[in-house]
Structure 1
Amino acid sequence: MLVLIEGGEVLAPEPIGAAAVLLAGDRILKVGPVDGRALAALGVDVEVIDARGCMVIPGLLDPHEHLLGGSGERGFASQTPEIALHEVVTAGITTVVGCLGVDTTTKTMTGLLAKAKAFKEEGLSAYLYSGGYDVPPVTLTGTVRRDMLLVDEVIGAGEVAISDLRSTEPSLAELARLASDAYVGGILTGKAGITHLHVGDGPRRLEPLRRLIAEHDVDPGWLYPTHVERDEGLMREAVALTRQGVTVDVDTVEEDLGRWLRFFCEEGGDLARLTISSDASIPSPRTLFEQLREVVREHGFPLERALPLVTSNTARILKLPRKGALRAGHDADVVVLEQGSLEIVEVVARGRRMVKGGRLAVIERFLERSNRKVELHGRKPRER
């Protein structure tokens, strides 16, 4: 079946103006003028989405989610449950990368891989990093490189902890070996081959990464640090690294994205080297979308300027060439937003309509034959 999204203003993520987006199966067939009546005259089944008064954008990419839930650093009872499909798709996220954190014992690589595969069966695009805070990393097959070669979903190493009390304090040589292993895995498979690094609030900040680049054969493009918005000093160091070719990531956990985007720009940061993630485990994946919406509506950041931070920039660092943009031949990942409010109206992931008319249109497969009622309500109210 074809899906025709017509009548909307398209940001691909660059502004295109009024245009139709035609989907065929799990790919985008055309972005531009499409004669719906001519399609109907051919006797082809066409599902039409009326996007008048709306913006049509690429599906969002979230490069950092704890899909198995958070480790729980206040005892076992503080572990958080797995991320659910509906939490991801109602946030406009169509591509997600899962990771492990400080707990790589009860949260396992095999469990993370199974979760990614489950999301893929439901229609999302799901990937993962091999490892966690630990160095040497806990892997599926013995090494990160082997994981990347043998497991489709594994795209790199991470999230490796540096400058953090919870880190295993890896030496520079150990970090260089890990980054090189991930890079070689990347060139052998065509995958990202990046090392995703959790940056803590320790006094060394990003010094280990600067030294990796200066003292070892580690290319800046191999490194992908996150949580660089902890304080202004750390952010300044991150801005400096972007000038060397490192792509950095900020999370939306503290819901202060507007402040850090403004600071990043004032310090001369290269927006092409910046991405945004949810770090979902305690916070909801929805926080990613809500923060994007807030920086546009309340901080005056143009949508076309903010959008690459959750679409094309992320697709580039993750080396997902069919993601992050509305182009013919790209994956059919599309979000329709109401103009003005920027509320999510439609979400299409790999050609499957996940949200219709602002309402969830799918149900987790395990619930289809279950009488369970699963509801989780945090004490912190969701931002509106």
Structure 2
Amino acid sequence: MTDLSIAEFTLLQGAHLYAPADRGICDVLLANGKIIAVEQTIPADIVPDCTIINLRGHILCPGFIDQHVHLIGGGGEAGPTTRTPEVQLSRLTEAGITTVIGLLGTDSITRHPESLLAKTRALNEEGITAWMLTGAYHLPSPTITGSVEKDVALIDRVIGVKCAVSDHRSAAPGEHQLANMAAQSRVGGLLGGKPGVSVFHLGSSKKGLQPLYDVLQNSDVPINKLLPTHVNRSEALFEQALQFARNGGTIDITSGIPGPVDPAEGVARAVMAGIPLDRVTLSSDGNGSMPLFDAAGNLTGIGVAGFDSLLQTVHQLVKQHGFTLTDALRPLTTSVAGFLSLNGKGEILAGNDADLLVMSEDLRIEQVYARGKRMVMNGKACKKGTFD
């Protein structure tokens, strides 16, 4: 509980609040990193020495939760010079990200879960909220303690595991290996009070989502603990993903993949297919490599994924697909928080963390607050990381 005797109060006045539900014009009172009150009107003199910020003519909404970021870099598919660098705090906050989940990619030879853990702790100290997934593309999963179950149960920042399937860069895991990995994450989550999810990077193989169905066949892990990501990589894969969601699963669309299924189009198609928005999430794959391969599996080009695609997808959902801002925000806020059981995140409610975006009426990010501290002002980071 917040100690009001030592709290530093900030009153955000007069913004159009999307919590993400449309609450109309509201005031929001913050103290010690938390949202204290949300009301149509909160008197400016409610507490002494309160900082007043006039947000009339602006939109106030939850900070974005990006559940798929290569915090310590990714890549390496074309040798050491193609290893992408660590992400800087300002790149995250300027994109509206206040909560981030870090993970490893193809390279778990020169990158390690221990380094990722250090990075997540550093970002928490610098002001945003960060967790991580243990594991990487291959199985057996690289871990910190020697097992997926122990990592999830015992390490504070570890909330699940990641692996790669249906991809020529995966370790071609057997169905029982995958089931065991998912079961360990599930049990570790139960023991540690964590979500205990298993995230599956999906490549372009014709196997598609079959490895996830193998997990369901060979274990008792519930479908709501399995997350296929990059499902908009191909048309065939996306159709399989829609069926997975119809079966009760959650699917993650990558905003950094422009096609063949455009991310905004993918969200819109899921809704048209009758998939509830609470089973559709968006993530950036930010700071990871963007390799291009020919039909023979040869690398033909490589780049680095950014984070601007998250807000761009929100824009497109509203302007091109007729979504309300409430619904456009859900895959980056309440849907992710719900799937990952992130209590206090994803919604502007009294008692939740004060993770907030202030946007102009044309949906440009102007200010960002993470745990009540202003991180971005006038669209640029005003609080930077140690080595920004």
TM > 0.5 fold call: yes
Q: Is the 8 A contact 1:333 1:351 kept in 2?
A: yes
Of the candidates 20, 26, 36, which is equivalent to residue 13 of structure 1? 20
> Residue in 1 aligned with 2:321?
299
The reply on whether 1:276 has 2:282 as its aligned counterpart is yes
Q: Is the 8 A contact 1:29 1:328 kept in 2?
A: yes
Q: Is the 8 A contact 1:129 1:156 kept in 2?
A: yes
Q: 1:244-259 counterparts in 2 under 5 A?
A: 244-255=247-258, 256-259=262-265
SS at match of 1:126: strand
Q: Is the 8 A contact 1:337 1:345 kept in 2?
A: yes
The reply on whether 1:92 has 2:113 as its aligned counterpart is no
> Residue in 2 aligned with 1:326?
348
Q: Is the 8 A contact 1:235 1:264 kept in 2?
A: no
The reply on whether 1:311 has 2:333 as its aligned counterpart is yes
> Residue in 1 aligned with 2:300?
none
SS at match of 1:37: coil
Of the candidates 68, 76, 86, which is equivalent to residue 82 of structure 1? 86
CA distance in 1, matches of 2:268, 2:370: 31
Q: Is the 8 A contact 2:149 2:187 kept in 1?
A: yes
> Residue in 2 aligned with 1:238?
241
SS at match of 1:239: helix
Out of 194-203 and 237-246, give the one that drifted further: 237-246
CA distance in 2, matches of 1:31, 1:90: 25
SS at match of 1:82: coil
Structure 1 residue 276 displacement after superposition: 0.2
Aligned residues: 362
In the alignment, structure 1 segments of 5+ residues that lack a partner are 368-384
Out of 25-34 and 120-129, give the one that drifted further: 25-34
What's the CA shift string for 1:177-206, capped at 9, x where partnerless? Answer: 111100111111111100011011101100
Of the candidates 123, 128, 132, which is equivalent to residue 128 of structure 1? 132
The reply on whether 1:205 has 2:208 as its aligned counterpart is yes
CA distance in 2, matches of 1:142, 1:359: 41
Out of 211-220 and 78-87, give the one that drifted further: 211-220
In the alignment, structure 2 segments of 5+ residues that lack a partner are 1-7, 288-303
> Residue in 1 aligned with 2:230?
227
Runs of 4+ that moved beyond 6 A: none
Out of 276-285 and 121-130, give the one that drifted further: 276-285
User: Aligned AA for 2:85?
Assistant: P
> Residue in 2 aligned with 1:287?
309
The reply on whether 1:48 has 2:70 as its aligned counterpart is no
The reply on whether 1:343 has 2:364 as its aligned counterpart is yes
> Residue in 2 aligned with 1:156?
160
SS at match of 1:176: helix
Structure 1 residue 111 displacement after superposition: 1.1
Q: Is the 8 A contact 1:187 1:193 kept in 2?
A: yes
CA distance in 1, matches of 2:241, 2:138: 23
Structure 1 residue 34 displacement after superposition: 4.0
CA distance in 1, matches of 2:319, 2:58: 15
Structure 1 residue 55 displacement after superposition: 1.1
CA distance in 1, matches of 2:147, 2:52: 47
The reply on whether 1:360 has 2:366 as its aligned counterpart is no
Out of 50-59 and 291-300, give the one that drifted further: 291-300
Q: Is the 8 A contact 2:17 2:26 kept in 1?
A: yes
Q: Is the 8 A contact 1:199 1:227 kept in 2?
A: yes
CA distance in 2, matches of 1:29, 1:8: 16
Out of 303-312 and 145-154, give the one that drifted further: 145-154
Q: CA RMSD in A?
A: 1.4
Structure 1 residue 74 displacement after superposition: 1.6
CA distance in 1, matches of 2:45, 2:14: 16
CA distance in 1, matches of 2:273, 2:247: 15
CA distance in 2, matches of 1:10, 1:131: 38
SS at match of 2:387: helix
SS at match of 1:167: coil
SS at match of 1:36: coil
Out of 65-74 and 127-136, give the one that drifted further: 65-74
Q: 1:164-175 counterparts in 2 under 5 A?
A: 164-175=167-178
User: Aligned AA for 2:121?
Assistant: K
SS at match of 1:106: coil
Structure 1 residue 215 displacement after superposition: 4.3
> Residue in 2 aligned with 1:3?
10
SS at match of 1:107: coil
SS at match of 2:286: coil
What's the CA shift string for 1:325-383, capped at 9, x where partnerless? Answer: 001110010111111x201111000111001233321122235xxxxxxxxxxxxxxxx
> Residue in 1 aligned with 2:142?
138
User: Aligned AA for 1:250?
Assistant: I
The reply on whether 1:267 has 2:273 as its aligned counterpart is yes
SS at match of 1:366: coil
CA distance in 2, matches of 1:110, 1:26: 28
